[in-house]
Structure 1
């Protein structure tokens, strides 16, 4: 058996390019007792992969999760034909030995999707959704009547965060980078105010949409944008620091220069807490079950940008940093 894999040919210098990747073939061993052979059907590409890539050596496989079909199985725990979520990286065939204890971040048999697309398990009904769910509800603790600001609000995480904010009774203000995204956020997702961060003054937009101040901020971008939001936060404001895509392609040999108004931070007693979603691994199914049910009830609207073809994973990944996608970008392994 031969598996295809996509490796980082050379370390990225700034924004990744197609020349930085290479597709290689790799022979696989015949599966042994306790192992399974899977074939990828859906792949996830996410901004965090750019940050993780700094620790990769030239020629190492790109990291990432996939929804895969079990072609062969020598364990009763994972029957042939079942679908699994696996943190197998950018590869099409995988031989894997499931652990005795389920690790929801690395591998699990897909839960009942109740008719929803299986690809949702890589997005709103999976790790992405749990990132939005736990990050917002546990760290920002939104209350009815709170004002919530979401950056990168048309992306995979941000679009779910904003909708959960509406479910919780918040006024939701979302920022994104195109009129198409703003229309989707306003007309389909129900955001109260939407702004194109490329064409407006962020501070003025916040004063217009949140004259009483901001209570919660879900931060996906970092940098100067976060500086402006913090300046408009209320006493005891809460920030969930999820991502910092504004700095992922910067020169890592130089210190980040992020403006911070320490006076506001201190005297408004703003709480800012960074997180990785695996903090809530013991409650993993609680999160995705709630998210799945909200989708089925029509409370969560999900949009995917689908790229077809395993070989197109690098271009799909690069598009994340151009802001081309609306919602979750997902790669279908084959037509």
Structure 2
């Protein structure tokens, strides 16, 4: 977290409430002179095993004592086998949760207010920086959707939809934290109402003659407001993707029905035409299929008819037909001819 770490005690707790007013209780429980709470958003881990943590970082500083930075984890999402919400595991609660905060320098230990504001600003700025990783995750979803549309990857629609909904929920909950922080001025009003009134987000500069840390506090509020705005954009794009995917799902169902109808028609033509010929002219002269001459005269027309119907069906099949599709069709036709050959060889002679 930077220099001055020995002056800061880092802790974590699980608090899944929303707008529950726990900040006042946390301030009273800490016994600190200064208390601030900033929105906390962070991605942890490598790709494939990432976690998205959403919560609130609470800074409590007492004059002449150590600062306490406690992350109240509101919710956690895990990437393992698809993004989904889960209770935070025990190993999540450690100092790494707030590692690499963008501190310009060590907090001023001689001024509890300045130290608390410096830490809160670092948390707010770090959370805002994490939006770029959320944006990268959205790009991943869009790429998967493009591959699904082009049939370039083996993916399914419903799990992808579920993951997008989960991440949309995560972004929405992070927005809640940012909006609360902006509205309440990072809860500075708990110990300094004048500073709360002087650093509202609609003010471009802090009031003249105030302490230097007021400017830092106002910058923290701007970071929270920017976090809210950027998350709102991501949520809107995720919802737009969901709308597009619902339209795609309808088109996919229609395409599947067309594919089924075409395959059924091809199968009916491939099997019906030879059956009609045999019913008109009889098959007694070919049975049993105990010689090569009888076998090819009976089965080659059937095989060619079924193969022609299969090729036509694949050629006009909705979607992209690949070489493996034609290979599969040939294998199926050969299997059908083999079954007919086996059955014809066992049939009694005329």
Specify the TM-score bucket, using the shorter chain as the normaliser: under 0.3
Greater strand proportion: 1
Q: TM-score, normalised by structure 1?
A: 0.23
Greater helix proportion: 2
Max Rg structure:
2
Q: TM-score, normalised by structure 2?
A: 0.23
